Amino acid sequence: MQDYKTEFPFDITLSEEQQITWDMLRKFAETELRPQARKTEAEGMPSQELLKKIKSLDLIPLIIPEEYGGMGLKQDSVSSALALEALAYGDLSLAMSISIPLLTAQIIAEHGSEEQKGKLLPEFVAGSIFQVGLGINNALISTDSYQSSVTAKELGEEIILDGSKAGVAFANDAKSFLISASNESGECGLYFVNKDQEGLELEEKEFMGLKGTPFSQINFSNCKISCSQKLGGHNYSINYQSLLDSSRIGMSALALGVCQAVLDYVVPYTNERVAFDEPISNRQSVAFLIADMAIETEALRLMVYKSAALKDLDEDFHKQASLTYRFATHHGMKIGTDGVQLLGGHGYTHEHPVELWYRNLRAIGIFEGGAGV
C-alpha cells in the first residue's frame, strides 16, 4: 500500500514579499551574476567588487538576531529555496558564494552558545561573510552520509579530530572552521576549529565545475581542541540529520535554478537554429527532448517547494528532502547533458554557457557524500 501522505497540503502561490524578493534576486542574477560567470571561473574566485554587491543583498543580516547586529527576521524555508533558485539562475558557483556563508550563519544563530553567537554573528554583518568555513562534505564516499569522514575522540576536556573534509569554500579567507565529526558512539556533531590550530592542514582542490568558488580540503591529524569549541557547548546535541536534510533542500533549489536557465536557453536556440530549411525544434526528437526537460524541471520545482513547505509546517521532511535531492542529482545532470546535446558542437564550446552549466550541475550529487548512494 502506498504510504504517500496528502494531509499536508501546500500552497505555491507566492506572497507579495516573496514575489518582490524573487524579482529582485532574479534580476540581480541576470544582470550581475551571469555576466561575471566566465570571468569568475577564469580567475578562480569572484572579484571584490562583485562580492560587495553580493553582500549588499543583506541576505545574511536578515536572519541574524537584532542583538548581534542583524535584522532578526525569521526566514521560512520556502522563501530561502526561492532565493537560492533565483540566484542560481545567474550562476551556480556565484550563488554558492552566498548560500554557503548563509547556511553557516544560520547554523550558528540557531545552535550556537551565547558566547559563540556573540563572538561570530556580528562579524557576518559588519565584516567578512567568509570568516567561518563550513566543512560538512565528506572527503570519501560513504554509505551513510549522516556520518562524518572526521572522527572526534573525547579525552577529558579535549577533543581529538582525525580525518578529512572536502569542498570547504573560501578556506583561505576563513579565520576558523565549523566541522562535522562523528564521536565514538556514532553521533555526529559540529566543532569550531581555529585556522592556525596544530594538526590542521589546508589543501587546495580544483573541481571540474564550480571553478568560480575556491574550494579546499581540510586534513586533521591528531588535532586537539577544547570541549568548549563544540557548537552549542560541550553537552549540546544537534539533529545532524535534519541539518543535512535542510542543506539538501537548498542544494536542490540551486540545481533547479540552473535547470531553468538551461531550459530557457535551449528553447529560443532550437527555434532560431535552422537546418534543412526549418527550425530544428520542428524535429520530433528535439521537441520531445525539450518537453522532457520542461517536465523534469517542473517536477523538481514542485518537489523542492514541497520539501521546504513540510519543513515550515514542522512535519517530518526527511523522506521528501532525500527524494528531492536524489531527483535533483539525477535529472539535473541529465538536463545539463541534454542542453549541451541540443546545441550540438556549439554546446561543447565556451561560446555558449550550457557547458558551464553542465559542469556545475554535475557537482550537485558529489556534495554531502553523494546522493546516489
Instruction: Dump strand ranges (E) for the chain.
Output: 132-135, 150-155, 158-169, 176-183, 188-194, 200-205, 215-226, 274-275, 278-279
Hey, is 164 helix, strand or coil?
A: strand
Instruction: Quote the DSSP letter at residue 138.
Output: B
Joined together, the cell numbers standing for residue 134 give: 563550513
CA angle 50, 41, 54 (to 5 degrees): 20
- Stated pTM of the model: 0.93
272: its cell numbers: 532560431
Q: What pLDDT does 7 receive?
A: 61
Q: What angle do CA 134, 19, 105 make, to 5 degrees?
A: 15
pLDDT category of residue 8 using cuts at 50, 70 and 90:
low
Does the pLDDT of residue 64 top 80, yes or no?
Answer: yes
DSSP assignments along 196-210, one per residue: T-TTEEEEEE--SS-
With cut-offs at 50, 70 and 90, classify the pLDDT of residue 310: very high
Contact (CB, 8 A) for 40 and 91? yes
Give the pLDDT confidence score for residue 319 in this predicted structure: 94
Closest-CA residue to 290 (of 304, 280, 300): 280
Ordered by where they begin, the domains of the chain are: 16-128 (1.10.540.10), 134-229 (2.40.110.10), 240-369 (1.20.140.10)
What are the tens digits of pLDDT across the range 111-120?
999 999 999 9
Sign of the torsion formed by the C-alpha atoms of 30, 33, 35 and 41: negative
Q: Environment class of residue 95 by beta-carbon count within 10 Å: exposed (0-12), middle (13-18) or buried (19+)?
A: buried
User: How many CA atoms lie within 13 Å of 76's alpha carbon, on the beta-carbon side?
Assistant: 16
Position 373 pLDDT exceeds 70: no
Provide the residue type at 227 as one letter: C
- How far apart CA 231 and CA 118 sit, in angstroms, is 13
Tens digit of each residue's pLDDT (9 = 90 or more) over 318-345? 999 999 999 999 999 999 999 999 999 8
- Asked whether the beta carbons of 40 and 94 are under 8 A apart, the reply is yes
CA dihedral of 258, 93, 110, 222, whole degrees rounded to 10 = 130
